[in-house]
């Protein structure tokens, strides 16, 4: 048998998931100088993960990362299997039979819970649901959000929370030329929300917004940002954090909050940032009516400060609440999973068994590897590390017989009567979405139902 990674015996890798980390893993493999074949498996009919269904519709520039993924997808070494759910349509064991290595890049698909009473009341949602809904993700397309009450609450102060606040704060005019899904635009156009509260359990110096996202709240068409100046009095530990040369983002954020606090509101809507408060329970008869908040204080050394409840309670009447306190990975059947942290246990991307030993041929990258932190580009470094581990294992991955890769998987797909969408199929859907968008002055109008997509592909 020829050496693995040569043209006679190419390295066959299955990548599960088609978001940024999947594409950066594919890129690193293709650019490795070895002969490789990459099969990418995606449970939806469309690729690109959170760049398509997470990045906010009013941030079109970030979505240009797709141009890079498109180039990778057109490489001759690459094949795309959309609408194929690994663990359901095709089992992990079957991927192992056809590929030398399986690399999971399936992200963190669920939200962390607050763990308080009333969390499941009608009107209490996750940020993921709203984000998926306005971005036309088929899983969330039919969610119903009641925006008939004037007050909306968002728990969390990171960039996902910022997206949720901003989309609720913008007017239909500000959104109608983005790729926001039609069903969401129609609902948001009728929204009665006038007050949006973004609530963080720690202080303004610890808010996780990027300065760029925070600044946008000062530039909205019909919404003023609001901060109570008293809330910007910092404890000495937070002042020490801001004085650190390597903590420029927080210093800038506090400066932006101070600017917000000086403004006199004149617009129809307000987005109010509140700090040092945590939800203790949600209340209401049959549906959410109010959130009960406890005042926090910070405890600990600079950069290690955590929020502790003070016992001081307040209530905030509201009609809808979104929790945005982080994502969590979901287990894939047959693969090791660390339930507590919502990741696959791994060492530099090599997946580990419960006894800490390396599972041969199994790798992970992106959020399922390191948890839901960082932004699009962070996943590139992460995937490069995993592919480095994989290539270092080449001798161990070599098998007596060549792996059949794409051909083997195609046979399974045919046998089972599955409808896989290949990359050419996606390009057809992509062109049709752009065409639908043109009529409305939008960059695209996404398909939000699988049957529409499959019908178009015939």
Partner 1 sequence: MTTIVTENCLRCRFTDCVTVCPVNCFHGDDEMLYIDPEVCIDCSACVPECPVHAIHEGEDIPDNLKDWIQINAERAPNLPVIDGKQDPLPTAEARQAELGY
The binding site for partner 1 (CB under 8 A) comprises 20, 24, 61-62, 64-65, 67-68, 210-212, 215, 245-246, 248-249, 252, 374-381, 384
Closer to partner 1 by CB, 68 or 454: give it: 68
What is the rounded distance in angstroms from the CA atom of residue 378 to the CA atom of residue 369?
12
For 260, counting Cβ atoms within 10 Å of its Cβ (0-12 exposed, 13-18 middle, 19+ buried), the class is buried
Q: Are 213 and 159 in contact (CB under 8 A)?
A: yes
Please count the other Cβ atoms lying within 10 Å of the Cβ belonging to residue 94.
15
Cα dist from 294 to 127, 201, 224, 323, 436, whole Å: 21, 9, 26, 16, 48
Q: Which is nearer to partner 1, 17 or 118 (CB)?
A: 17
CB atoms under 10 Å from CB of 436, counted, come to 15
Least Å from the CB of residue 144 to partner 1:
32
Which C-beta is closer to partner 1: that of 171 or that of 378?
378
Cα 110 to Cα 458: distance, rounded to the nearest angstrom:
33
Q: Pick the closer one to partner 1 by CB: 270 or 303.
A: 303
Instruction: Please state the closest distance from residue 65 (CB atom) to partner 1, in A.
Output: 5
Contact criterion met (CB below 8 Å) for 273 and 226: yes
Report, in Å, the least distance between residue 371 CB and partner 1.
Answer: 17
How do beta strands 358-364 and 350-352 pair?
A: antiparallel
* Inter-CA distances, 366 with 135, 161, 410, Å: 21, 21, 27
Consecutive H or E run containing 251 = helix 248-262
Q: How far is the CB of 133 from partner 1 (least distance, A)?
A: 24
* Smallest distance, partner 1 to C-beta of residue 341, A: 22
Cβ at position 25, least distance to partner 1 in Å: 13
CB-wise, 187 or 210, nearer to partner 1?
210
User: How far, in Å, CA of 411 to CA of 120, rounded?
Assistant: 44
Contact 288, 123 (CB under 8 A): yes
Q: Would you say 374 or 408 has its CB closer to partner 1? A: 374
Nearer to partner 1, 159 or 404 (CB): 159
Distance CA 251, CA 204 (A): 10
Nearest residue (CB) to partner 1, 67 versus 407: 67
Which one-letter DSSP state was computed for residue 231?
Answer: G
CA distance to 70, 188, 292, 301, per residue, from 289 (Å): 46, 20, 10, 37
Nearer to partner 1, 72 or 152 (CB): 72
CB of 46 to partner 1, least distance (A): 19
Beta bridge mates, 364: 104
CA distance 366 to 65: 16
- Closest listed residue to residue 253, CA positions, set 225, 215, 221: 215
Length of the chain: 458
| Strand pairing report for 290-299 and 277-283 | antiparallel
Residue tagged 């720690």 (tokens): 202
| Rounded least distance, CB 255 to partner 1, Å | 10
- Kind plus residue range of the DSSP H or E element containing 414: helix 406-415
The residue (of 113 and 212) whose beta carbon lies closer to partner 1 is 212
Minimum distance of partner 1 from residue 98's CB (angstroms): 30
Q: Which is nearer to partner 1, 43 or 380 (CB)?
A: 380
Partners of 225 in the beta sheet?
Answer: 271
- Least Cβ distance, residue 64 to partner 1 (angstroms): 5
- Minimum CB–partner distance for residue 60 and partner 1 (Å): 9
Residue with Cβ nearer partner 1 (348 or 381)? 381
Minimum separation from the CB atom of position 210 to partner 1 (A): 6
Distance between CA atoms of residues 276 and 202, nearest Å: 5
């Amino acid at each position: 048998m020829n050496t693995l990674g040569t043209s006679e015996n190419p390295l066959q890798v299955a990548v599960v998931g088609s978001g940024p980390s999947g594409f950066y893993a594919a890129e690193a493999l293709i650019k490795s100088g070895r002969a490789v074949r990459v099969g990418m498996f995606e449970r939806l009919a469309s690729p690109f993960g959170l760049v398509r269904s997470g990045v906010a519709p009013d941030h079109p520039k970030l979505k240009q990362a797709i141009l890079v993924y498109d180039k990778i997808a057109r490489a001759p070494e690459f094949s795309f299997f959309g609408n194929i759910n690994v663990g359901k349509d095709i089992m992990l064991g079957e991927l192992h039979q056809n590929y030398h290595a399986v690399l999971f890049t399936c992200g963190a698909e669920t939200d962390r819970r607050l763990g308080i009473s009333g969390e499941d009341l009608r009107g209490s949602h996750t940020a993921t649901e709203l984000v998926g809904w306005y971005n036309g993700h088929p899983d969330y397309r039919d969610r119903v959000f009641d925006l008939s009450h004037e007050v909306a609450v968002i728990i969390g102060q990171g960039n996902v929370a910022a997206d949720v606040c901003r989309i609720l704060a913008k007017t239909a005019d500000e959104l109608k030329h983005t790729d926001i899904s039609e069903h969401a635009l129609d609902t948001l156009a009728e929204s009665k929300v006038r007050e949006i509260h973004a609530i963080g359990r720690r202080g303004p110096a610890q808010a996780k917004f990027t300065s760029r996202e925070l600044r946008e709240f000062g530039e909205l068409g019909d919404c003023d940002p609001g901060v109570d100046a008293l809330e910007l009095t910092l404890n000495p530990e937070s002042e020490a954090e801001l004085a650190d040369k390597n903590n420029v983002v927080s210093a800038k954020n506090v400066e932006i909050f101070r600017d917000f606090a000086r403004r006199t509101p004149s617009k129809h809507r307000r987005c109010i940032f509140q700090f040092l408060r945590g939800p203790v329970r949600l209340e209401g008869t049959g549906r959410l009516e109010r959130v009960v908040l406890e005042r926090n204080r910070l405890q600990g050394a600079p950069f290690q400060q955590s929020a502790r409840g003070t016992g001081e309670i307040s209530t905030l009447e509201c009609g809808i609440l979104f929790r945005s306190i982080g994502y969590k990975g979901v287990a894939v059947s047959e693969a090791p999973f660390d339930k507590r942290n919502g990741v696959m246990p791994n060492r530099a991307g090599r997946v580990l068994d419960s006894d800490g030993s390396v599972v041969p041929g199994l790798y992970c990258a992106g959020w399922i590897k390191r948890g839901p932190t960082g932004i699009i580009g962070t996943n590139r470094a992460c995937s490069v590390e995993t592919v480095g581990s994989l290539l270092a294992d080449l001798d161990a991955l070599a098998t007596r017989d060549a792996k059949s890769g794409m051909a083997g998987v195609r046979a399974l797909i045919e046998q089972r009567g599955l409808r896989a969408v290949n990359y050419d199929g996606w390009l057809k859907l992509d062109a049709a979405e752009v065409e639908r968008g043109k009529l409305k002055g939008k960059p695209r109008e996404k398909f939000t139902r699988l049957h529409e997509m499959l019908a178009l592909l015939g």
